[in-house]
Amino acid sequence: MRSLPPTNNMQYHAYKIVKYVNVKSSIIAPAFNNVGYGIQYHFPVGANTLIELKIIVPIK
C-alpha cells in the first residue's frame, strides 16, 4: 500500500530492513478513500542514509 494518492506520479520504492534500527510506529489514519488503520513506521534518518549505512537494501 502506498502513502501517496493514486493521482501522484512519484515513483514507488520498496526496501528490506537488514540491520536493527529503532523506529517509531503509529496507526495510519484513513485517507484518499482508503480504510487506513495499518501501521506506519518513522525512521530516525532518511532512506539515503539508511542505504549508505547498509541498514536497508532496495527490493528489486
Is the pLDDT higher at 55 or at 13?
55
What is the pLDDT at residue 18? 97
Say which residues have a Cβ less than 8 Å from residue 5's Cβ, sequence separation at least 6: 31, 32
Q: Which pLDDT value is given to residue 3?
A: 64
Q: Summarize pLDDT for 3-54 with one digit per residue, the tens.
A: 667 788 878 889 999 999 999 999 989 987 888 888 989 999 999 999 999 9
- For the chain, the 3-state helix, strand and coil shares in percent, each to the nearest 5, are 10, 25, 65
CA distance 56 to 18: 6
Tell me if residue 52 falls in helix, strand or coil.
Answer: helix
- Whether the per-residue pLDDT at 2 is higher than 80: the answer is no
pLDDT score, position 53: 96
